[in-house]
Amino acid sequence: MAQENKRVCQECGEEYTAKKAHSKFCSTKCRKDYNNRRAVRGAQLYDVFMAIRYDREAATKYGLDRTFISRMGEMFNDEDKGSSGPHGKSYRCPREVKGDLGCQVNARRGRA
């Protein structure tokens, strides 16, 4: 008899039976909503970061700094916990991020 693989959807918080070992979402809609939210937030953070890094004069003029980025993070976290739905955290663990980008970023400056 096949063992039921009960999980909680990372987007809506509902319990579901996973059909695949790596499943994180109960439906295609939940998966797309999660990924779309991450994409929008990522684009916003990218724009702020690049302005701070490469157009400092304009960034300073409009109040874009590391504190602004931290406040964006707080806002995203509040949205994840708030009234727009019972979203789980919308960011990956640091180990996964470092695993994906660590070699590329460190190689950029000749570091190991």
The three state secondary structure string of 10-74 is CCCCCEEECCCCCCCCCCHHHHHHHHHHHHHHHHHHHHHHHHHHHCHHHHHHCCCCHHHHHHHHH
DSSP 109: T
Count, residues in the chain:
112
Q: Give the C-alpha distances (Å, rounded to integers) separating 23 from 47, 86, 90, 94.
A: 31, 18, 16, 20
- pLDDT averaged over the chain? 87
Which segment of 37-41, 44-48, 70-74, 106-110 scores lowest on mean pLDDT? Answer: 106-110
Q: What does the pLDDT average to over 73-87?
A: 79
Quote the pLDDT of residue 1: 42
- Between 84 and 24, residue with greater pLDDT: 24
Could you state, in order of their start, the residue ranges of all structural domains in the chain? 34-108
Please give the model's pTM, rounded to 2 decimal places: 0.75
Which segment of 4-18, 27-41, 42-56, 89-103 scores lowest on mean pLDDT? Answer: 89-103
